[in-house]
Amino acid sequence: MFRGRTQKDRESEKGKKTKAFDCERSEGKSGEATAMAMAALRREGRRLLLSPTVSNPAPAAAAAQSSAISPPEMTLLGVRSISTQVVRNRMKSVKNIQKITKAMKMVAASKLRAVQTRTENSRGLWQPFTALLGDAPSVDVKKNVIVAITSDKGLCGGINSTSVKVSRALHKLTSGPEKESKYVILGEKGKVQLVRDSRKNIEMTVTELQKNPINYTQIAVLADDILKNVEYDALRVIFNKFHSVISFKPTMVTILSPEVAEKESEAGGKIGDLDSYEIEGGETKSEILQNLAEFQFSCVLYNGALENACSELGARMSAMDSSSRNAGDMLDRLTLTYNRTRQASITTELIEIISGASALEG
């Protein structure tokens, strides 16, 4: 026989629904508390990783902390954001360096045009001496003076190292038990390299030669100073001869003293052609050779300084161009690394948000 629900049945059913709702609320609150606890743990870990000064914990606590935080969790606790900032700072530094190298290349190119014209004009000064007196690089004398022309500034490739290597090789060839070989160095970079192992053989150094535009008057005074303070039988001037922006050739020119030149003339060398000329003014052959040696040395030194300056500017242009290209390649790699790191950080944050929402939904 069917009976309707009594008041007591309705009250018991209402009590069951109330208990189920309270249970769902408690579960929701526990899930929300768990998500909040996880977020607090992440913030605390991030604060510990980013804090500049951390007091030394006890050994047991330090061991527990190091064992509790694994490398994947450290990545999630803020290491990615730190690496992103480091990459961004590195990209900024590379961009600034690239701007400097491009500016140095433009400055070297503007200076090269003027120096190249003067260099080509100066080649006609000492070439007639070679045609008249000849060049005797293999002459064997007792007193050799090696005049190495280098630059005062760096960042120009291997131009100075080339001159120093040739100077050292020539010094070994011209040295001996009864021979003496000395250095006269023009330029700070050559001085720095040769002073390491040949300090006692350096007779004279000249720096800041290219501080002002090179002119013949300045070089003539310098050549006269060298001839007065150095005893020599043969002067061997070493410089880099300019061919193009990317090409230069180490060159050596030999200037003999009047005494050695006269001996070579008597021996029937190239200098014997002077006898075919008529000398006017009552000057002797030795006086003519003395004047020619002094003038030849000043002309060779002037042309060598200009050739080396032109080669230096060309080498600096090439070096700065290579540096700018390398900076661009490095910037591309850093940009790729930065984008990957940033995308990985965004993906991690999205995973955290989705995980928290799933925890809240229960």
pLDDT digits (tens, 9 = 90+) for 33-64: 455 555 554 555 444 444 444 344 444 334 43
In this predicted structure, what is the pLDDT of residue 330?
A: 95
In this predicted structure, what is the pLDDT of residue 55?
A: 41
Residue 141's identity, in one-letter code, is V
- Give the fold, CATH level 3, of 129-271+285-315: Pyruvate Kinase; Chain: A, domain 1 (3.40.1380)
Percentage, residues of the chain above pLDDT 70:
73
**How confident is the prediction for the chain on average, in pLDDT?**
79
Instruction: Tell me which of 122-131, 270-279, 325-334 is least confident.
Output: 270-279
Distance, CA of 300 to CA of 306 (rounded, Å):
10
Question: 4: which DSSP letter?
Answer: P
Distance, CA of 150 to CA of 338 (rounded, Å):
43
In this predicted structure, what is the pLDDT of residue 261?
A: 80
Assess whether pLDDT exceeds 60 at residue 250. Answer: yes
Threshold 0.75, pTM exceeds = no
Assess whether pLDDT exceeds 90 at residue 316. Answer: yes
Question: 58: which DSSP letter?
Answer: P
Which pLDDT tens digit goes with each residue over 212-229? Answer: 889 999 999 999 999 999
pLDDT band at 32, cuts 50/70/90? low
Average pLDDT, integer, range 293-309: 93
Instruction: Tell me which of 79-83, 86-90, 95-99 is least confident.
Output: 79-83
Structural contact between residues 210 and 309, judged by C-beta atoms closer than 8 angstroms: yes
